[in-house]
């Protein structure tokens, strides 16, 4: 069970007061040292000679000391996990500063051997400034609520915004690459998955590296779920162990989720067609890159199409892999024909019966857009909101103005079929990028890849014709 440090502001007994909260936090596996500074400004009935604060503290917290502007406060009351503080009496004043120092004896959550996570809920005053610095031993990555700006340097995370917030911190020592801190088995050429993800959507994360872990299936099923191959959450990635040729494509998929996390904080809906669509598309491109370069034997699957066949030679024998299409073409036709609209609310967790369809539909939207426009990263320009978007309809309308959210939606079956064939036959470009700083400084390059898919299909088709020819001869005997 996850253990969370929860701090809750209760009441400040001052009429019409403005305030600011600053945090200075140091954390490791065993404990948290938290310095909370509350700045109060009196706006009415001023000046005030005495201030009172009721502040709830977490379980296992030990008060180290409390001060105000006049000095140390020795008298305070601990009651029901909260500390009630009255400032030192003195000359009437228009402002006051309270500083509460505490030690929280709480073990961090263990994600993997040598990888730990902490989750902090930090109180503040609604609409008032909240800032802070968090220093973590072996810090890797962090995450903070929508509306807050954050920056990372070395072992420190700094943040600023308004009101209360939640923070998640990942820290530990794994196998370090240019873009990952890996725990468990490290996929070969892991950084390649990152550069394809960044090149696909043109975004970068705020921290230096993603923590990532490969987990045995039993543990993955227990801690993540039974149906996925990877998961991104709060600045971190977990993958199933032994994914084989799918390791880098799945890793690219999860990296895109991580890059979207920062850019799409405005999304307060539960729908995930855009996030999954861009992630599925990056996974498709990573697999295409590996296959066309001759590094894996099985290439991408078609979308709402026919079986895809790939040929390989194993121990001198030709082996043909037959892959089912992503998504059923008949189901897509029915979705359009019956004027369904559940994709506005779709996510893979709450639409289990349409999980595979939703993934395929989301990718279809992206592939169709690229076929007409050339790349996805241009979509991200102007994708910022002043407040959270909580309505699925508003989100759908926003994307509908930028791309066709119902690709290949024709009343005539023939047009529907031809549209899907064009989407599947298009030679999608693969982009890569090695970030140095922010997205604005990103240099995205288009890769030149051999078209192995067409060559293998030609050979496979010829092989099938030869087999059919001899089968025909045998049947005549």
Q: Are residues 204 and 278 in the same domain?
A: yes
Q: Which domain holds residue 63?
A: 5-172
Give yes or no for residue 36 having a pLDDT over 70: yes
CA–CA dist 254, 69 (Å, integer):
49
Q: Are residues 343 and 390 in the same domain?
A: yes
Give pLDDT, residue 437.
Answer: 65
Q: Are residues 152 and 239 in the same domain?
A: no
- The answer to whether residue 462 sits within a structural domain is no
Give yes or no for residue 23 having a pLDDT over 50: yes
Q: Are residues 188 and 84 in the same domain?
A: no
Q: For 132-178, how does the pLDDT look when each residue is reduced to its tens digit (9 = 90+)?
A: 999 999 999 999 999 999 999 999 999 999 999 999 999 999 999 99
Give pLDDT, residue 194.
Answer: 98
Residue range 32-37: mean pLDDT, rounded: 96
Q: Are residues 309 and 425 in the same domain?
A: yes
Give yes or no for residue 477 having a pLDDT over 80: no
- The answer to whether residue 277 sits within a structural domain is yes
- The answer to whether residue 391 sits within a structural domain is yes
For position 118, which CATH number holds? 2.60.40.3680
Give pLDDT, residue 458.
Answer: 45
- The answer to whether residue 39 sits within a structural domain is yes
Number of domains in the chain: 2
Q: Are residues 217 and 301 in the same domain?
A: yes
Give pLDDT, residue 382.
Answer: 82
Give pLDDT, residue 386.
Answer: 81
Q: Are residues 237 and 357 in the same domain?
A: yes
For position 224, which CATH number holds? 1.10.390
- The answer to whether residue 89 sits within a structural domain is yes
Q: For 206-245, how does the pLDDT look when each residue is reduced to its tens digit (9 = 90+)?
A: 999 999 999 999 999 999 999 999 999 999 999 999 999 9
């Amino acid at each position: 069970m996850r253990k969370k440090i929860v701090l809750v502001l209760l009441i400040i007994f001052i009429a019409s007061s403005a305030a600011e909260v600053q945090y200075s936090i140091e954390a490791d596996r065993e404990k948290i040292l938290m310095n909370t500074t509350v700045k109060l400004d009196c706006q009415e009935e001023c000046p005030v000679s005495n201030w009172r604060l009721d502040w709830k503290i977490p379980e296992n917290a030990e008060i180290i000391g409390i001060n105000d502007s006049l000095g140390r406060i020795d008298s305070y009351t601990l009651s029901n996990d909260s500390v009630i503080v009255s400032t030192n009496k003195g000359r009437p004043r228009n402002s006051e500063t309270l500083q509460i120092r505490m030690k929280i004896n709480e073990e961090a959550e263990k994600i993997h051997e040598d990888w730990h996570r902490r989750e902090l809920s930090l109180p503040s005053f609604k609409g008032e400034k909240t800032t802070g610095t968090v220093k973590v031993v072996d810090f890797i990555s962090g995450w903070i609520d929508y509306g807050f700006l954050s920056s990372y340097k070395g072992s420190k995370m700094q943040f600023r915004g308004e009101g209360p917030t939640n923070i998640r911190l990942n820290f530990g020592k794994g196998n370090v690459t240019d873009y990952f801190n890996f725990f468990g088995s490290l996929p070969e050429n892991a950084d390649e998955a990152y550069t394809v993800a960044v090149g696909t959507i043109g975004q970068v994360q705020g921290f230096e590296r993603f923590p990532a872990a490969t987990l045995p299936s039993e543990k993955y099923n227990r801690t993540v779920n039974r149906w996925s191959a990877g998961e991104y959450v709060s600045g971190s990635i977990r993958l199933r162990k032994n994914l084989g040729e799918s390791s880098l494509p799945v890793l690219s998929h999860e990296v895109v989720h991580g890059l979207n996390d920062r850019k799409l904080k405005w999304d307060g809906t539960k729908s995930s067609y855009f996030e999954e669509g861009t992630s599925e598309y990056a996974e498709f491109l990573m697999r295409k890159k590996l296959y066309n370069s001759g590094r894996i034997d099985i290439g991408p699957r078609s979308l709402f199409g026919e079986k895809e066949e790939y040929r390989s030679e194993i121990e001198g024998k030709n082996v043909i892999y037959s892959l089912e299409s992503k998504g059923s073409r008949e189901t897509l036709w029915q979705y359009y024909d019956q004027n369904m609209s559940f994709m506005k609310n779709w996510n893979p967790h709450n639409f289990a019966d349409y999980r595979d369809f939703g993934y395929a539909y989301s990718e279809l939207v992206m592939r169709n857009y690229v076929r007409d426009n050339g790349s996805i990263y241009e979509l991200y320009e102007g994708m910022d909101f002043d407040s959270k978007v909580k309505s699925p309809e508003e989100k759908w309308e926003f994307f509908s103005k930028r791309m066709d959210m119902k690709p290949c939606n024709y009343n005539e079956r023939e047009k529907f079929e031809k549209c899907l064939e064009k989407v599947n036959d298009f030679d999608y470009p693969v982009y890569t990028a090695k970030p140095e700083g922010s997205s604005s400084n990103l240099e995205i390059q288009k890769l030149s890849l051999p078209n192995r898919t067409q060559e293998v299909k030609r050979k496979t088709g010829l092989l099938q014709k030869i087999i059919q020819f001899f089968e025909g001869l045998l049947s005549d005997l």
